[in-house]
Chains A and B, each alone.
Chain A
C-alpha cells in the first residue's frame, strides 16, 4: 500500500496547506521533518525561518491575530517540538486558531527513546485544542483537514499534528473529498434558548445601571456592529478586557476603557455599582474581576460565550447563553428597546473626578521620560492607526491605558498566558499577514532580551516593524509588586541590557536612543521613515509604577490610586482626592 499512491506524505502536507489557503508558514527544519522540507521547495508557500521555534509559534500567533486566518508552524521532533510548548500555551489561552506540524521519528522506533524522540502529543495535550500522531501517509490529508477545521471552529485554538518520518516518506493518494472533516461539528452550540433570550431582554429592559463587558469574542465572532448597535440603541456604556481593546472603538462616546487590575478607578467603580453586566465574549478572568466574592455585588449578569464551559465557571450568572455572539445578538437586537440612560452615564462621568488630573500623561514635562508619555505620544504620532504588538509587563499595561485602539485587530498581546518575549516575533507575523499596516512592537527591556534574535529573521525576510523598547533597567512589573507587596526587596529584578543602538547596528537595522520627551517625536518619525525594521530605546523613569492597581485578591473598588507624588498638590486639594 505504501508503494502505491500518487503523492508522498510530505507532498500531501503541502497540498493540504495550499488547499487550506495557507501562504506563509513559520518554522525551523531538522532531521525528522526533512522529507517535508524537501517537498516544500516545489510549492509556492512562503517559509519564514525563525531563530528559535518558540518564536515560530508566536509569529504564527501574531499572523493569525492580525488577520483572522489560521497560523501555521513547522518544526522537527524532539527539542524542535518541545520549544513550541510556550507558544502553544499562549495561543491556547488567547484562543488563536493555529496548526503546528512537527516531524517525529520513524514509527518503527516510536517509544524507544530514539534520537530526538519526545512524546510531543503527550506533552502538548493540555495546551492544544486537540493533537494527533500520524504514522501513515494515508492519514495525513484527513488529519490535516480535521486539524484546520478544529482550529477554526467554535472557540478557536491551536492543534498539533505530529507526523512520523516514514509517514512523510510513504505514499498515498490525494483524495480531498473523502477527507472532509466532520468531527468538529459534533459539539456545535445548542439551538438558541428562547426562554434565556427572553429573560435577558427582561433584564436589559429593567436595568438602570447596565454595563457591557466587551471581550475578545466580539472580534472573533465579527459582532462589532451588533454590539455597537445594541449599546447605542439601549444607551449602555461598555468597558473592555485587555484582549477586547479595539473590538469596539476606544474613542466611542460610550466607551469607558479597560476594566480590571489596571483599569481606571472610575471604570471599576462603575462595574461595582452596576445593576446589570452584559458579558460579551469574555471569561471573567481573575485580572478582570478581582476578589470574586465582592465582584459587582449589585449586578444581575448575562453571559454570552461560545464556550459553554466558561459559563458560570468563575462568576455565577443569571442568564447564561452558549452560542456565537453574532448569532445571539442578531436574535436579541429586534427586541432591544431604545432607552435613555443619560443619568447613569452622567453618574459615571462624575466618578472620573480627579482621574484626569492624576493622569500621568497630563503631568508637565519635568525633564523625565515617563513610559505613559511614550505611549500617549506614539498614539498621537501614528494617528492611532498602528497595529501595536506588546510584550508582557508594565509597558503592556501603559500601552493599554494610553494607546487608544479604535480598529479591530490593532492590539496584539499575550493576555491569558502573559508570555514574555512574545512581542517581536508576533509583530513579525502580524506584518507578514498585513503588509500594508504600520506595525509597532512595544516591549520592555526584559522581554525584548528573550527573543531579540528574531531581529535577524526580520532582516532576512525583509520585514519592517518599528520597535519601541521601554527600558527602565528593571523587570518592571515584578519590581512594582516587590515594591508594593514585598517590602521593596528587589530580588533578581534589576536587569542590564546591551547597548540597544549598537545591537541594532549589529543586525544592520536603524537604532536610536531617546532620553527626553523632547526627542521623542523626531525619533519616531525617523523610525517610521526608514525602509527596514527600526528600533528605538526609550530610557524611561526607572522606578515608575502602573496605576491604578487592584492588588491581586482585592475587590475591584479597593484600588491603589496614582500616588500623590504623581499629582500636583493643588490638584489633590481641589478634588479632595477621595480614593474610590
Chain B
C-alpha cells in the first residue's frame, strides 16, 4: 500500500543520492520521489511515495531520520492530505477526433499546451488517480509521449509541528562543498 513521506533535507549536493541509496539498499520500494525548494532557505523538500507495509515504512522513516542531512520526516499516513501529480501527455489527435480529445481534456480540467499537425499536448494536474483516469481515457486515441512528475504532497490543516525542535541553520561551510 502506498505511503506518503515528506522529508525536509539540507539543500546540498548528494542528498538525493543518499536518500535514493538508502531506499535501494534496504529494499524499500519507491513508487515516486520528487524534490524541490521550500519555504526555508537552504532546505529541500522531498515527497516520497513508498510501496510497503506499515512496519516497513516505520523502519524507512527511522533510517531517514539517521541521515545527517535530514531535518524532518513526516509520515502523512491516514492524515487528510493533498497529493498532486502533474502529467504532460501528447496524444494522437487528427482532425476527425480532435474535438473529442478536447472534450475529454475539458472534463478532466486539463489544458492543451501544444498543438502539432496531428497531435495535442495536454497538461493535467491532480491526484494520481485522476491522472491515471485521464491517461486511460486518452489511450484509445494513441498516447505518443507521457511524462509525469510524481507526487508532491502536503497535509491538510495547520502546518504539522516538526518532530524535532528546529535549531539554528547549519553553519554551512559553503552550500556547494558541504556534503556529497
B180, A309: Cβ atoms closer than 8 Å: no
Measured CA separation A311–B65 after assembly (Å): 14
Stretch of B103-111, B129-137, B170-178 that contacts chain A: B170-178
CB-nearest residue of chain B relative to A316?
B55
**Cross-interface CB contact of A143 among B14, B21, B59, B178, cutoff 8 Å:** B178
Measured CA separation A178–B172 after assembly (Å): 10
Q: Is A293 an interface residue (CB 8 A)?
A: no
Q: Is B4 an interface residue (CB 8 A)?
A: no
Contact with B along A537-559 (1 / 0, CB 8 A): 00000000000000000000000
Select the residue from A143, A312, A313 with max chain B CB neighbours within 10 A.
Answer: A313
Across the interface, which residues of B come within 8 angstroms of A411, CB to CB?
none
Measured CA separation A184–B68 after assembly (Å): 6
A308, B174: Cβ atoms closer than 8 Å: no
CB-nearest residue of chain A relative to B167?
A182
Measured CA separation A136–B174 after assembly (Å): 9
Across the interface, which residues of A come within 8 angstroms of B179, CB to CB?
130-133
B23 CB → nearest A CB, Å: 12
Across the interface, which residues of A come within 8 angstroms of B174, CB to CB?
136, 138-139
B170, A182: Cβ atoms closer than 8 Å: yes
User: Do A309 and B62 form a contact, CB below 8 Å, given A130-B68, A179-B171, A187-B164?
Assistant: yes
Across the interface, which residues of A come within 8 angstroms of B180, CB to CB?
121-122, 125, 131-133, 162
User: Do A309 and B59 form a contact, CB below 8 Å, given A132-B179, A138-B173, A187-B66?
Assistant: yes
User: Do A313 and B66 form a contact, CB below 8 Å, given A132-B180, A134-B177, A180-B171?
Assistant: no
Q: Is A126 an interface residue (CB 8 A)?
A: yes
**Cross-interface CB contact of A308 among B25, B62, B69, B167, cutoff 8 Å:** B62
**Cross-interface CB contact of A126 among B25, B168, B177, cutoff 8 Å:** B25
B171, A142: Cβ atoms closer than 8 Å: yes
Measured CA separation A488–B72 after assembly (Å): 54
Across the interface, which residues of A come within 8 angstroms of B65, CB to CB?
187, 308-309
CB-nearest residue of chain B relative to A138?
B173
Q: Is A425 an interface residue (CB 8 A)?
A: no
Across the interface, which residues of A come within 8 angstroms of B161, CB to CB?
none
Q: How many residue pairs bridge A and B at CB < 8 Å?
A: 85
Interfacial residues of chain A within 153-200, with CB under 8 A of chain B in the complex: 154-155, 162, 178-188
CB-nearest residue of chain B relative to A181?
B171
User: Do A186 and B171 form a contact, CB below 8 Å, given A312-B58, A313-B59?
Assistant: no
A309, B63: Cβ atoms closer than 8 Å: yes
Contact with B along A309-331 (1 / 0, CB 8 A): 10111000000000000000000
Across the interface, which residues of B come within 8 angstroms of A241, CB to CB?
none
Q: Which of under 10, 10 to 19, 20 to 34, or 35 or more describes the interface residues of A? A: 35 or more
Across the interface, which residues of B come within 8 angstroms of A178, CB to CB?
171
Interfacial residues of chain B within 83-140, with CB under 8 A of chain A in the complex: none
A186, B167: Cβ atoms closer than 8 Å: yes
Q: Is B18 an interface residue (CB 8 A)?
A: yes
CB-nearest residue of chain B relative to A188?
B164
Across the interface, which residues of A come within 8 angstroms of B58, CB to CB?
312
Across the interface, which residues of A come within 8 angstroms of B25, CB to CB?
126
Across the interface, which residues of A come within 8 angstroms of B171, CB to CB?
142, 178-182
Measured CA separation A132–B18 after assembly (Å): 12
Select the residue from B55, B68, B70, B170 with max chain A CB neighbours within 10 A.
Answer: B68
Q: Is A289 an interface residue (CB 8 A)?
A: no
Measured CA separation A312–B58 after assembly (Å): 9
Q: Is A135 an interface residue (CB 8 A)?
A: yes
CB-nearest residue of chain A relative to B68?
A130
Measured CA separation A266–B85 after assembly (Å): 58
Measured CA separation A187–B65 after assembly (Å): 6
Select the residue from A133, A138, A179 with max chain B CB neighbours within 10 A.
Answer: A133
Q: Is A307 an interface residue (CB 8 A)?
A: yes
Across the interface, which residues of B come within 8 angstroms of A121, CB to CB?
14, 180
Contact with A along B1-37 (1 / 0, CB 8 A): 0000000001001100110010001000000000000
Q: Is A150 an interface residue (CB 8 A)?
A: yes
What are 16 contact pairs spanning A and B, CB under 8 A? A121-B180, A132-B179, A134-B173, A135-B176, A136-B173, A136-B174, A136-B177, A139-B173, A142-B171, A143-B178, A186-B167, A187-B65, A187-B66, A308-B65, A309-B62, A309-B63
Interface residues of B (CB under 8 A from A): 10, 13-14, 17-18, 21, 25, 55, 58-59, 62-63, 65-71, 164, 167-168, 170-171, 173-174, 176-180
Apart from A154-B66, A307-B62, what are 5 other A-B pairs with CB-CB below 8 Å?
A126-B25, A132-B178, A133-B180, A142-B171, A188-B164
Interface residues of A (CB under 8 A from B): 121-122, 125-126, 129-136, 138-139, 142-143, 146, 150, 154-155, 162, 178-188, 307-309, 311-313
List the 7 shortest-distance A-B pairs measured between CB atoms, nearest first. A139-B173, A309-B62, A121-B180, A133-B180, A142-B173, A308-B62, A130-B68
